[in-house]
Amino acid sequence: MRPLRYSINVTLDGCCHHEAGLPPDAESMAYWTAEMERVDALLFGRLTYEMMESAWRKPSAGTWPDWMSESDVPFAAAIDKAKKYVFSSRLAEVDWNSELVRGDLAHAVQQLKQVPGEGLWVGGVMLPTALADLGVIDEYEFVVHPTVAGHGPTLLAGLRDRIQLELVDRREFRSGATVLRYRPVPGAA
């Protein structure tokens, strides 16, 4: 069974807006590139899909935009080629190596988890909260930035029940950001 990992950048005050943390550097981009390359597929809600596609899809001209740094290109290539499942009732169709998923969220995710492979990755805000409420996330990975945003969407806001987690890995970046990886404690609430 493929594990499902929720990964996101977050500030010290729990803000998970994509622009609230530190600007990405070569070290963090290499980390996120490796994370993209070690999963079989990405799960997105509509908003995250649209945001990621607008930033990281390879232009039809075939060359990456000038705004990308040398460390951005491997990440862009990894996410561009990754298989994506988009959970949306609003979108009529998707492309960018993506498949639109509709219907019962729990059933659809359980089916994806049953396919043999290395794992699934989910990012964003709303879809991961729904998945956490369903209890289908196997690992939580937070890249905590030494920043206080003071505003913006917060991590897992609106979660119905408390989730008890155990720390399974920790890594620090030179920037001061810390990667914290957790797994749910079985039977704890």
pLDDT tier for residue 189 given thresholds of 50, 70 and 90: low
What pLDDT does 43 receive?
98
Average pLDDT over residues 76-86: 95
3-state SS assignment for residue 8: strand
3-state SS assignment for residue 138: coil
What pLDDT does 160 receive?
93
pLDDT tier for residue 73 given thresholds of 50, 70 and 90: very high
Q: List pLDDT tens digits, range 125-149.
A: 999 999 999 999 999 999 999 999 9
State how far the Cα of 181 lies from the Cα of 57, in Å rounded to an integer: 28
This prediction has a pTM of 0.93
Beta strand 4-11 pairing with 139-145: parallel
Residue 22 Cα distances to 26, 37, 174, 182, angstroms: 12, 23, 12, 22
Report the DSSP beta bridge partners of residue 11. 145
**Measuring CA to CA, which residue among 158, 138, 131 is closest to residue 44?**
131
